[in-house]
Amino acid sequence: MVPSTLEAPRTRTGSARSLRTHRWRRTAGRAATGWAFAGPGTLLVVGLSIFPAVWAFLISRTRWNGIAPARDLGWGNYQRMVEDPELWESVRHTLLLTALFVPSSIAFGLVVAIALSQPIRLIRFYRTCIFVPFVASAAATGILAGYVFNPQFGSANELLRRLGLPAQQFLEDPRQVLVVICLIALWGQVGFVAVIYLAALQDIPKDLVEAATVDGASRWQVFWHVTVPALRPVTVFTGVWQTITVLQLFDLVFTTTRGGPLNASQTVVYYVYELAFQTQRYGYGSAVAYGLFAFTMLLTVAMILYSRRAKVEAF
Interaction between residue 247 and another protein (CB under 8 A):
yes
Residues numbered 193 to 212 that lie near another protein (CB under 8 A) are 195-200, 203
Check: CB of residue 142 under 8 Å from CB of residue 256.
Answer: yes
Is 131 or 223 the residue whose CB approaches another protein more closely?
A: 131
Q: Which of 126, 168, 169, 172 binds another protein (CB under 8 A)?
A: 126
Of the ranges 84-92, 94-102, 168-176, 275-283, which one interacts with another protein (CB under 8 A)? 275-283
The least CB distance from residue 106 to another protein, in Å, is: 13
Is 149 or 264 the residue whose CB approaches another protein more closely?
A: 149
DSSP track, the chain:
-PPPTTSPPP-SSS-HHHHHHHHHHHHHHHHHHHHHHHHHHHHHHHHTTHHHHHHHHHHHTEE--SSSPPEE-TTHHHHHHHT-HHHHHHHHHHHHHHHHHHHHHHHHHHHHHHHHTS--TTHHHHHHHHHGGGGS-HHHHHHHHHHHT-TTT-HHHHHHHHTTPPP--GGG-TTTHHHHHHHHHHHHHHHHHHHHHHHHHHHS-HHHHHHHHHTT--HHHHIIIIIHHHTHHHHHHHHHHHHHHHHT--HHHHHHTTT-STTTT--HHHHHHIIIIIS--HHHHHHHHHHHHHHHHHHHHHHHHHHHHTT----
Of the ranges 1-9, 15-23, 67-75, 166-174, which one interacts with another protein (CB under 8 A)? 1-9
Round to whole Å and give the CA distance between 303 and 232.
13
The least CB distance from residue 224 to another protein, in Å, is: 19
Interaction between residue 144 and another protein (CB under 8 A):
yes
Q: Tell whether the torsion through CA atoms of 254, 259, 264 and 269 is positive or negative.
A: positive
Interaction between residue 228 and another protein (CB under 8 A):
no
Q: Which of 106, 138, 180, 212 binds another protein (CB under 8 A)?
A: 138
Q: Which of 153, 166, 215, 311 binds another protein (CB under 8 A)?
A: 153
Residues numbered 30 to 49 that lie near another protein (CB under 8 A) are 30-31, 33-42, 44-46, 48-49
Is 13 or 144 the residue whose CB approaches another protein more closely?
A: 144
Interaction between residue 112 and another protein (CB under 8 A):
yes
Interaction between residue 1 and another protein (CB under 8 A):
yes
Q: Which of 189, 192, 222, 253 binds another protein (CB under 8 A)?
A: 192
Residues numbered 283 to 302 that lie near another protein (CB under 8 A) are 285-286, 289-290, 292-293, 296-297, 300
Counting Cβ atoms within 10 Å, is residue 164 exposed (0-12), middle (13-18) or buried (19+)? Answer: exposed
The least CB distance from residue 134 to another protein, in Å, is: 8
Is 117 or 213 the residue whose CB approaches another protein more closely?
A: 117
Q: Which of 128, 221, 278, 279 binds another protein (CB under 8 A)?
A: 128
The least CB distance from residue 192 to another protein, in Å, is: 7
